[in-house]
Amino acid sequence: EAGVTQFPSHSVIEKGQTVTLRCDPISGHDNLYWYRRVMGKEIKFLLHFVKESKQDESGMPNNRFLAERTGGTYSTLKVQPAELEDSGVYFCASSQETGVGTIYFGEGSWLTVV
Amino acid sequence: QKEVEQDPGPLSVPEGAIVSLNCTYSNSAFQYFMWYRQYSRKGPELLMYTYSSGNKEDGRFTAQVDKSSKYISLFIRDSQPSDSATYLCAMSPYNNNDMRFGAGTRLTVKP
């Protein structure tokens, strides 16, 4: 069974440009999460989808970040325009249940804004 | 003050040593306590999961939670070079949305 897949694995963009990160969850997992770790900080929650609906987006830092989950399958996270402080690693995770401890993380998308 | 404190290390031990990794926290609402292992350029992988206080053992790994002291530990017995990774503690009061991570401790086990 395939795990959580993220694309691209690495991205280097200039300040002001747009980047779109994609996440394919484990098949059958209704719950999809985005987390990120910026330089020198801990991993932090961004948002949670249940199927195609945003269940909780309290962790989204500002309106430059837009997440979508079309048809309840894959998800995209767009950063527009990107700022230097957005550099870090963006993790996607998925789970069948909402209970703690049952989530599976992808390998992350490493974003560098220069 | 951070909600979860974890010494980032690095920690280097010889093969076969007992490793002790620790986190402290300030939020008494945390009920779920996790340890994740993260290899370089990979995503976090759940190692141990404990609800409330107590001990949990899985092979060479033992997780301990002391809610009265707001202190959690992960012990690795007979450490192996393949255990070399970053170990992240995480905890939550309710669900994955409220999960708070520690900074991670980088462990190297030398042959």
- Reply yes or no on whether the pLDDT at A90 is more than 70: yes
CA distance A25 to A6: 9
DSSP state of A13: E
- Reply yes or no on whether the pLDDT at A93 is more than 70: yes
pLDDT of residue A1: 67
| DSSP E strands, chain A | 5-7, 10-13, 19-24, 31-38, 44-50, 53-56, 65-68, 75-79, 88-95, 104-105, 109-113
**A98/B88 CB distance under 8 A:** no
CA distance A35 to A37: 7
Question: What tens digit of pLDDT does each residue of B40-80 get?
Answer: 989 999 999 898 888 999 999 999 999 999 999 999 999 99
**A100/B94 CB distance under 8 A:** yes
Q: What would the mean pLDDT of A46-54 be, rounded to a whole number?
A: 95
| Backbone phi and psi for residue A24, each to the nearest 5 degrees, phi listed first | -110, 115
**B101/A42 CB distance under 8 A:** yes
Mutate to test the interface with A, among B88, B99, B100, B106 (most CBs of A within 10 A): B99
**What's the pLDDT band for A72 if we cut at 50, 70, 90?**
confident
- Reply yes or no on whether the pLDDT at A61 is more than 80: yes
pLDDT of residue B52: 87
- Reply yes or no on whether the pLDDT at A108 is more than 90: yes
